[in-house]
Amino acid sequence: MTRFLACLAAAAVLAGCGLAATPEKSDAAVLVGIGEQDAAMFTDPLFTPLGIKNARYFPSWNVAFKQEEAGWLDQWLDGARAAGVTPLISFNVNLGSRCPNRPCKLPTVSQYTTAFKAFRARWHDVTVISPWNEANHRSQPTFKNPKRAAQLYNVVRKNCVGCTIVAADVIDEVNMERWLKVFKKTAKRPRIWGLHNYRDTNKRKGQRLGGTKRLLKAVKGQVWLTETGGIVKFVLPNGHTLFRRSESRANTATKRMFALAKRYRSRIKRLYIYHWKQSSADNRFDAGLVRLDGSARPAYFTVRNQLNTSTFNP
């Protein structure tokens, strides 16, 4: 028997025995990551079996100058390195800000440049960056200043040669296209765009949908779903309940998230599920795949099942 026929026969035997059950992964598949602020995720016994190698964290934009916050980031990055996980750092408004009320500080280009250079000096191995989190949302000082957001992206682009940069990280609000139109006039050759598509994944009566499709139409290049997933519970700051607690509804939303990413996989190349674990018993926003007691919610098993398909890579 020739070597070719022997190999062919062996492959047939393996397939017949069911040993080829895991589908071959494609380079064109969507990479799946997790957004989580707690470094304990990396050693969680439920996290390791998923094989996820990308995670997202959002510190203050000037974290390099904040001793306590810098320590938290050090701890999180140490956990990511130990687990072989590549971090995506999305800079955020200062901790303690109350945008759109005061305090709500929008850094100047000079201030942001100084802070980012300090970040690079301390955490030089971090090379996947989003210059500002949810930049078109009213909770951010960039909400009414897309030009400044573009200038901050340009700062990162200039001072992070060889880095992978998410140009604008937006949420699917009604102002998204208008905001991006101004942003694009100043941003230098953006190639990757970030989207938080909660409206599409978590359907609600009377809510405008189609944010994913809208962004794909508004920009060119890759799109990453930098924050997405199923909401278990969401109470607004004014006390109004937007989503009553429901793990079943959150699981349906998680399935919808994967379906959207699969439908547009020619453009959508990554998704970061937010978030890993319920942080407290009375938190206003809960989208954790894992309950406070460490047990898995239904959405966790949906994620695990999808990672066993050829469309999604951990």
Residues 300 and 252 sit within 8 Å (Cβ to Cβ)? no
What's residue 12's pLDDT? Answer: 39
- Helical H segments across the chain, by residue range: 3-16, 67-82, 109-122, 146-159, 176-186, 198-201, 211-218, 247-263, 298-306
Q: Model's pTM, two decimal places?
A: 0.89
Average pLDDT, integer, range 288-296: 97
pLDDT value, residue 24: 53
6: number of CA atoms within 13 Å, CB side?
A: 3
Distance (Å, rounded) from C-alpha 198 to C-alpha 201? Answer: 5
On the question of pLDDT at 30 being above 80, the answer is yes
Determine the average pLDDT of the residues in 270-298. 95
Could you report the per-residue pLDDT of 74-123, keeping only the tens digit for each? 999 999 999 999 999 999 999 888 898 889 999 999 999 999 999 999 99
Tens-place pLDDT, residues 125-179:
999 999 999 999 999 999 999 999 999 999 999 999 999 999 999 999 999 999 9
Beta strand pairing call for 169-171 and 285-286: unpaired
* pLDDT tens profile 34-66: 999 999 999 999 999 999 999 999 999 999 999
- pLDDT on residue 1: 43
Q: Say whether pLDDT at 186 is over 70.
A: yes
